[in-house]
Structure 1
Amino acid sequence: MQVVSNARRVSRLLQSPIFLSSHLRSTEEPILSGLTQRNYQQVKSEPLDFFASKAFYSSGADNVEGTPTDAVKDLYDKMLQSVNVKRSMPPNAWLWSMIANCKHHHDISLLFDILQNLRRFRLSNLRIHDNFNCNLCREVTKACVHAGALDFGKKALWKHNVYGLAPSVASAHHLLLFAKNNNDIKLLEEVMRLLKRNGLPLQPGTADIVFSICYNTDEWELINKYAKRFVMAGVKLRQTSFDTWMKFAAKRGDTESLWKIEKLRSDSLKPHTLATGFSCAKGLLLERKPSDAVAIIQVLNQTLSDAKKSGMKDELQKLVSEWPLEVLKHKQEEERKTLAASLKSDILAMVNDLLDMGLEANVSLEDLNIREGVPQ
């Protein structure tokens, strides 16, 4: 009966009206200047001299020395001859092969030059005003990332460009995944500005990548800024996004934001996962409510599938051995001593209650000797 009463109390708590956090970063900074157009005649007449003297800016580890790959240069020359000499559109297979063979920044530079020539030929000779399809843009952006030519990859997101590319959020995801793999906050912010400036719709998958980058780089204010943008745009966040967002709030010890996120999750009818359930339990521990935290974990134990329930021991061990020190690290020095004492007492009470209820939890309490300060 005590567990039922606690569960009801927790349910009432999580149903209170909560709104999005208002302490967000300022509006986005202006985008850099528009695209630059290269001199086609210079490339045609003196390609090697041009590439030897021209240095390109890129956010990644670009190879700005040397010459283009032979396969790329050969395909470039063949397509250029087709449109400028034979006055005919080259086979699509040549362009796709060129994209697939791009390995360096100079390869991408030739690729964008031929795209501009193909677009010009389509307009002037074939009277085709439409851009190339989105699949081509996506593969071009993917090639830019692979070659480390991120400056060109960002150009592919412009709605109005001289290359005939049709930007899409799928293309942006290639850049965002590069930012995720390299913990590149600057690139994340640049891509998000480009998405906004060019009116590209945000998607649930975009939120997954953005939230993950912010979590991995400990950018709490930034995740809230972009979360507000996703919610206001009507994006239906996935469970994985709520997992990351609520874990982040619990790690920061920000219970006010945690309950606001939990309200959004429950309003979207998303069921609790291990991550969101344990995040709520941590929030209740921060509020000195160990019995309510017990109720949350007990409900998870009853409702989750056996496959998902198998991770409860690990989550409980992390709550005991890792989470308290993470929270203390983000608190003011004058708060740490009191908070360390209360967490130690309440976590011990919670674990003992769970064991008394028969929950299988081989949790080591040796790590519960929380130090008052931040670990060295």
Structure 2
Amino acid sequence: MRSSRSAGNALRRWCYTLSSPSVALGRNERLRAPGFPCGDVREYIVSAASAGASSWVRSCVSSHLVANSTQPRQDFFRTFSEAAVAEEPAGEAGSPAVESLYKELNDSIRQKCLPKATLLPSLLKNCASPADVKLALDAVDRLRRVKAVQGQQKTNYNKNIAQLMVEACIRSGDPLAALPTLMKRNVYGFTPSLDQGHLLLEHAFGQKDTKLMLKVLRTMVTNDIFPTPVSAELIIRTCKDAGNTELLFQLAKEMRGNGVSLKKHLYDMLIATAANVGDVKQLYQVQQWREEQGIEHTTASAFALAKALVLEGNAEDAAKTILHHCNDAEKRNIYLQIMVKVWPLQVGAKVAEEEKHALLEDLKKKVAIMCESLVQSGCNVPVDVNEDFAKGAGSKSKAEDEVWTGGASS
């Protein structure tokens, strides 16, 4: 009885607000009652009946819906249409091609007819500057409103239009303008999808732009577009190429914690990066992740562990690790050269200048002990530590290229 009375009071208040002029424009939208269990008045009839509401409650709702089931006043449509066909705002002129297509689209709208279906995609494909993108966004908004008024567009644009919009923003040099395409609630009627997110992440990867990558990732997650293994690879590669190892490991940990699967070669990327910057603690963390996933050692992971053992002063154990897990002699020789020539420079770049000399001297002794242990075990060592130590040209080597492309998988 109490639930019926409270439902009746709520309905009285809701019916009163619907008769208010301030909400007249909202009648064309879905009727949504604040505080109702189902949110929709029509759905609430069923809920009220199943809850044993009084006949007055049901009759009140039914009579109100019948009274308001007619089409809204024509002046509402007229006002809405005028907003869609209003004069375009003055601003920086776009390219001639975009201006021409934009004018053609607007002329069709002013004549109360829909433009050709190919007109909007053509406009988006021709965008090449921020001014073009601004015109394109305005055109998208106007066309959406006109279609909504005429009842021809009851849902958002399909994802193809959203992807064309992202590509247009990237070409124009303003990728942030494409973020609304990832939002569930955007005024343009874009349909958010993972494809738009990947387009923006690929652009951030190409530009080594971690700030853009983070903004895209944050927008995706906020709008329930969750990263996939492909997203994870783009994110990790962006951090790696930008040299932001701290962010790399932080995001890798967060993605694993939120159920995003990492591809097997990404674990090689992570463990090799940890070894190259001398982060032993993070290296063992990544190795633990590998073991949890049941991933066997590769040449890259074995040498990463060997580097950690060398840093800890266990050069003989490092040699044993290499012998046990690296059966491919050709790959082993390549990685040994990199470990002697390039790796010391990578580790030394992460320490203070006054500490670098002492670190390199200590590393040279430990690496020499490891190589000597390998020779005594019958392993060919194609490099002379005394002559070649820290004499590499940099980190762009065949061995590292294998790691980052996932080629070192055995």
Calculate the TM-score normalised by the size of structure 1: 0.73
Bigger drift between 324-333 and 98-107 goes to 324-333
Equivalent of 1:78 in 104, 129, 145: 104
Distance change in 2, residues 1:44/1:361 (3 Å): farther
Bigger drift between 350-359 and 67-76 goes to 350-359
The aligned residue for residue 394 of structure 2 is: none
CA contact (8 A) 2:344 2:390 kept: no
- One-letter code aligned to 1:245: L
- One-letter code aligned to 1:169: L
The aligned residue for residue 258 of structure 1 is: 283
The aligned residue for residue 20 of structure 1 is: none
The aligned residue for residue 218 of structure 1 is: 243
CA contact (8 A) 1:202 1:233 kept: no
Superposed displacement of residue 111, structure 1 = 1.5
Unaligned runs of 5+ in 2: 1-81, 392-410
Superposed displacement of residue 260, structure 1 = 0.8
> What is the CA deviation profile of residues 329-356 of structure 1, one whole-angstrom value per residue up to 9, with x for unaligned ones?
3246786566434422221122233344
Equivalent of 1:239 in 256, 264, 272: 264
2:157 aligned counterpart, secondary structure: coil
Superposed displacement of residue 166, structure 1 = 1.6
> What is the CA deviation profile of residues 23-80 of structure 1, one whole-angstrom value per residue up to 9, with x for unaligned ones?
xxxxxxxxxxxxxxxxx96995355xx123xxxxxxxxxxxxxx32222222222233
Distance change in 2, residues 1:116/1:358 (3 Å): farther
The aligned residue for residue 123 of structure 1 is: 148
Q: Which runs of 4+ in 1 moved over 6 A?
A: 40-43
CA contact (8 A) 2:343 2:390 kept: no
Alignment of 1:334-349 (within 5 A): 339-349=359-369
Equivalent of 2:172 in 141, 144, 147: 147
For 2:384 and 2:212, locate their aligned partners in 1 and report how far apart those are by CA, in whole Å. 41
Distance change in 2, residues 1:74/1:273 (3 Å): farther
- One-letter code aligned to 2:291: S
Alignment of 1:1-376 (within 5 A): 45=87, 50-52=90-92, 67-88=93-114, 90-126=115-151, 128-302=153-327, 310-331=330-351, 339-365=359-385, 366-368=387-389
- One-letter code aligned to 2:225: L
Question: CA RMSD of the aligned region, Å?
Answer: 2.8
- One-letter code aligned to 1:217: A
For 2:259 and 2:156, locate their aligned partners in 1 and report how far apart those are by CA, in whole Å. 28
Superposed displacement of residue 360, structure 1 = 4.5
Calculate the TM-score normalised by the size of structure 2: 0.67
Superposed displacement of residue 170, structure 1 = 2.5
> What is the CA deviation profile of residues 93-134 of structure 1, one whole-angstrom value per residue up to 9, with x for unaligned ones?
222222222111122112111111222233222253322222
CA contact (8 A) 1:208 1:240 kept: no
Superposed displacement of residue 233, structure 1 = 1.6
Unaligned runs of 5+ in 1: 1-39, 53-66, 371-376
- One-letter code aligned to 1:128: Q
For 2:208 and 2:297, locate their aligned partners in 1 and report how far apart those are by CA, in whole Å. 28
1:45 aligned counterpart, secondary structure: coil
In the alignment of these two chains, the number of paired residues is: 309
Rg: which structure is higher? Answer: 2
The aligned residue for residue 34 of structure 1 is: none
1:156 aligned counterpart, secondary structure: helix
Distance change in 2, residues 1:274/1:44 (3 Å): farther
2:118 aligned counterpart, secondary structure: helix
For 2:348 and 2:334, locate their aligned partners in 1 and report how far apart those are by CA, in whole Å. 21
Superposed displacement of residue 145, structure 1 = 0.7
